[in-house]
Chain A
């Protein structure tokens, strides 16, 4: 973990300096290009937001068109100043995004891309079909009905201000709980949802932000160019915008500004500057499209992280001290003491079918506060399915899951997590490209009490909460003997260490119930023994646990009660001693010669 090599440290500048120099050169040569450059950078940010949330949205050109026409119409036909028309246009885009986002964001990746592609074209068709309002197919009415002078009134400084504002917004969000949630859900949406992150809400937020930013860019475009034509917002425009953000990289926001700056300036340089000596370039109208196409293709294949990836990974703020306090966090106690004797979690006749396969049929048992319940059974018995059901990844086909007296079988995963149920995965689901420390802090998601406003204002509370979360996470890592690896990428850790990071991440949620899916898989005997002691220690601290395991020694040693599944049915339940003597269990599970 020594510092980056001199080459790594030099690399970012080798990207920034030439691109900025190129942009500067273009602008000095023709100041009129500045507006276009700034608008494209803003558009790049709009595409970045959706890509960052793992949404391939091609709706940007459509929102740009809505913003442009809305602002132009408000400014010219209603005679409003652009200080009114542009914000209004942005709000209109936001409203449209909220409405169409409801159905659109339910779609999976490929369908979402196709649907947003259709949306962009639909906007254009609507423009063509409403000539009285928009000038129709040719945009001619804009030049006759729209006085150019009234429309063309952008001041470049406004664009600079908007870009700076956006840069601040992105900077602040990236270092906040919100930014962390975005990074988590883009890497592993399933794990993110079981950490209490509402994926749907975050995707909606990304779509909304993207639409409003594109709308702002469109509004400025209208007032900067002074005339509008529906063909300005053809599908190719969406592809241009996409290529800026893809070149920039979907990991870090400032890459998009560089990507937009580079792809805007390069064709200008080639055609208008070099074109004077190379006549072929001057008349090569398709050059920008070819460059954008090459950028999309080459970046995806050779530099998947885009330009931003040369900046290395976000390493977070260094030197995180751990909290001096208790080494092990205890679970959140409810405000009102739980009724004793009542089960914490009760499964009532749970069944789950996959197609014609009965993964679980009529399984029922209870988990009481403070106990360790072992769940065992041969492969394919339905153990992981049961854990997935409890954590809300999918609902049971029938039956009820009762958590502290409330039926939760239809709650989405993030709400189950928020209610106090945390889990680990049999096949490790860490956020591989985030540091170990960050992984654990994601576990604090539902506990950090900051929101967009505190983030934007960088309020002292925001800093305090962040510091506190880091310290707690560090303390957990120390307890699990992982503090030396805090700044490592989770994906680089050994198998056993990754398992422990998952446990730390789940514990960071202060869950009242912890579901461990084969925590000892891949561990040797000594490690397994240590894990057993750790789990017993958790019980001492007041945790309730459900453990799926194949290590019989471990299960027999630590569990208060054991439930045995076979072919989706519960075949036995009782104390370890009882279960290990059960005829049916011996036959079905332990095998009998």
Chain B
């Protein structure tokens, strides 16, 4: 460890900014994942593939058709919503109807993920795409020695808006109330006259839109859009969801920020950082699973047989 770096407050602040913006991305991504888990008790392993398709869609409309960023973001979120709804109809709803177990739902989502990634590779090839500079200036601002890129500012702003919107949606609107009711007890919700299938569809649409936003934001931050970009975020998303407690929205936000900061600090302060950071992510994942499987703010405990 480079000790001289520890005493450098600017370096510390810089990493905090980088870490938080990275963490905000994880949070946006993981909110969708944890939302579906909360409602259906299943892990959607095709969420990363959805995220990747949104990033590519965003790239197409911005780089090829020249749409501005706001348009790209909107279309990517729309694409995510459609794709997630497709997942629900193809991979999840038929299984629910048959009363299949949770493992089957995971397996079918794995199948969809393989198909989606393969199609993207076949259509777009495996080479890296970048957003044109006209979308967002890459020129960073300097605030007292700390470098902040416009992408980072946008990410943090967009994340805060999305988190606020999600919080309002889930806590304050009738639809959010219906979602929470189904998450708590599907059978009871059905008996109370809630149109369960419709609410589940809305849940998937919401999760997909979040994946879409995350796709664009990651694309802006890393400027590295490839069909296998989902693999990087897949495990991180799962780690965040578990860290925050499966199905817990606030937990996902907090978990995302924590993971983002830890990962950035690992790269900055540990030798061989960027190779080690994956290992650190896994260590966190294992630690949480073994020590506190309900997450740092986990409220769902019904994991006993």
A residues neighboring B (CB under 8 Å): 54, 56, 103, 106-111, 113-115, 117-119, 121-122, 125-126, 128-129, 137, 189-190, 234-236, 239, 242-243, 246, 284-287, 289-290, 292-298, 300-301, 304
Q: Are B231 and A235 interface neighbours, CB within 8 A?
A: yes
A297 engages B90 (CB within 8 Å): yes
- Beta-carbon contact of A114 and B122 below 8 Å: no
Residues of A with C-beta under 8 A to B231: 234-235
Query: Which 6 pairs of residues, A with B, have the shortest CB-CB distance?
Result: A296-B111, A293-B114, A297-B111, A286-B118, A293-B115, A289-B118
Given the complex of chains A and B, what is the CA–CA distance between A578 and B289 in angstroms? 54
State whether A118 touches B286 (Cβ < 8 A): yes
CB atoms of B107 and A246 under 8 A apart:
yes
Q: Judge whether A114 and B110 touch: CB under 8 Å.
A: no
Known A-B contacts: A111-B303, A118-B286. Give 14 more (CB < 8 A): A110-B41, A110-B43, A111-B289, A115-B289, A117-B238, A118-B239, A119-B282, A122-B286, A137-B275, A243-B111, A284-B122, A295-B111, A296-B107, A301-B108
Q: Nearest residue in B to A284 (C-beta to C-beta)?
A: B122
Q: Once the chains bind, are B100 and A304 in contact (CB under 8 Å)?
A: yes
Alpha-carbon separation in the docked complex, A137 to B276 (Å): 12
Neighbouring B residues of A293 by C-beta, 8 Å: 110-115, 118
B192, CB-defined interface residue at 8 Å: no
Against A, the Cβ 8 Å flags (1 = close, 0 = not) of B63-83 are 000000000000000000000
> What distance in Å separates the Cβ of B143 from its nearest Cβ neighbour in chain A?
35
- Of chain A, the residue at the smallest CB distance from B285 is A118
- A115-B285 CB under 8 A given contacts A296-B111, A300-B108: yes
Do A111 and B293 contact each other (CB < 8 Å), given the known contacts A190-B305, A290-B114?
yes
User: Is B102's CB within 8 Å of the partner chain A?
Assistant: yes
Contact check: which of B41, B43, B117 meets A289 at CB < 8 Å?
B117
Report A256 CB to chain B, min CB distance, Å: 14
User: Please, what's the 1-or-0 string for B285-300, where 1 marks a CB less than 8 Å from any CB in chain A?
Assistant: 1100110010000000
Which of A54, A125, A286 has most B Cβ within 10 Å? A286
> CB distance A129 to B282 under 8 Å?
no
Closest chain B CB from A112 CB (angstroms): 9
Closest-CB distance, A48 to chain B (whole angstroms): 14
Q: List 5 A-B contacts (CB under 8 A).
A: A111-B289, A118-B282, A122-B286, A286-B118, A289-B114
CA distance A368 to B111 in the complex (A): 57
Which of B112, B122, B304 lies at the interface centre, i.e. has the most chain A CB atoms within 10 A of its CB?
A: B122
B189 at the binding interface (Cβ < 8 Å): no
Q: Which of B100, B118, B121, B278 contacts A121 (CB 8 A)?
A: B278
The smallest beta-carbon distance between B183 and chain A, in angstroms, is: 15
Q: Which residues on B sit within 8 Å (CB–CB) of A289?
A: 114-115, 117-118
**Which residues of the partner chain B approach A117 to less than 8 Å between Cβ atoms?**
235, 238
B106 interface residue (CB < 8 Å to A): yes
**In the complex, chain A residues whose CB is within 8 Å of the CB of B112:** 293, 297
A56 to B278, CA, bound (A): 23
Supposing A285-B121, A300-B100 touch, asked if A242 and B110 sit within 8 A by C-beta, the answer is yes
Set B95, B122, B293: member contacting A286, Cβ < 8 A: B122
Identify which of A113, A234, A284 gathers the most chain B CB atoms within 10 Å of its CB.
A113
Q: Contact: A296 with B103, CB < 8 Å?
A: no
Residue B233 is within 8 A (CB to CB) of chain A in the complex: no
Contacts of A284 in B (CB 8 A): 122
